[in-house]
């Protein structure tokens, strides 16, 4: 008995071809979407993953300032607003755990490390929502411009809902998303532990020092004054 011919199914082939074409188009669209998302990172809200619950850490660790610091009133005492080292309790850490005081802690001069475990640099207090060390620098000579904004203003969105990933450079000149900045000479030492190719930072307006922004390091909780250098 002769074999029967296998019937052709052009309709099924057409469905398979259409399905394959749609899958390919979807893959190409996703590949093109990733660069677009990187290009618009400056407009991306800070993710909830960088907002740990209150009490886990007082400084850094992903805490995000909700707003820029307020303008400092005239007559505010200059310098870090901390107590002399002899008055700072060294028997407990920031969470109340008893620790031994080191010989280096005894008799040291005042600095920005207002509590054990806090950095010796201007920083943000997450539990009190305060920019520690900002008010005492209102009239600091190293933060004054004769002619501010000589290179213009940063044109991107900034503030509490915009996170930027550092892409390289150093305190003298760093960049992200094609925008370049430099840390004020008076603040260079405060950025010595920043990771210039991987840290996330946020920019805030500085109401006391025209010509500068405040660059806040999400990982460390410290901040420095930076000048926009253009693109």
Of 56-65, 89-98, 188-197, where does the model show the most confidence? Answer: 188-197
pLDDT score recorded for residue 58: 83
DSSP 8-state secondary structure symbol assigned to residue 61: T
Q: Which of 68-77, 96-105, 128-137, 200-209 has the lowest mean pLDDT?
A: 96-105
pLDDT of residue 136: 84
Q: Is 147 exposed, middle or buried (0-12, 13-18, 19+ CB in 10 A)?
A: exposed
The token duo for 169 is 């450079």
Residue-wise pLDDT tens digits, 129-187: 899 988 888 888 899 999 999 999 999 999 988 999 999 999 999 999 999 999 999 99
Query: Which tens digit of pLDDT belongs to each residue from 57-71?
Result: 788 888 889 999 999
Q: Cα separation of 113 and 129, whole Å?
A: 17
| Mean per-residue pLDDT of the chain | 74
pLDDT above 90: percentage of residues in the chain: 43
Strand pairing category for 179-183 and 200-205: unpaired
């Amino acid at each position: 008995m002769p074999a029967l011919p296998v019937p052709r199914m052009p309709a099924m082939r057409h469905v398979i071809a259409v399905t394959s074409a749609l899958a390919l188009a979807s893959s190409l669209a996703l590949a093109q979407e990733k660069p677009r998302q990187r290009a618009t990172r400056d407009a991306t809200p800070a993710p909830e993953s960088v907002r740990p619950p209150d009490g886990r850490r007082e400084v850094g660790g992903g805490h995000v300032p909700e707003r820029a610091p307020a303008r400092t009133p005239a007559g505010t005492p200059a310098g870090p607003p901390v107590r002399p080292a002899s008055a700072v309790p060294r028997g407990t850490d920031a969470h109340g755990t008893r620790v031994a005081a080191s010989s280096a802690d005894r008799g040291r001069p005042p600095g920005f490390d207002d509590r054990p475990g806090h950095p010796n640099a201007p920083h943000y207090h997450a539990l009190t929502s305060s920019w520690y060390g900002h008010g005492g620098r209102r009239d600091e000579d190293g933060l004054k411009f004769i002619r501010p904004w000589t290179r213009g203003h940063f044109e991107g969105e900034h503030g509490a809902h915009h996170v930027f990933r550092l892409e390289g450079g150093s305190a003298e000149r760093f960049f992200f998303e094609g925008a370049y900045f430099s840390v004020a000479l008076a603040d260079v030492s405060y950025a010595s532990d920043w990771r210039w190719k991987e840290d996330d930072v946020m920019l805030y307006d500085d109401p006391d020092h025209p010509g500068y922004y405040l660059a806040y390091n999400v990982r460390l909780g410290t901040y420095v004054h930076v000048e926009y250098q253009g693109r």
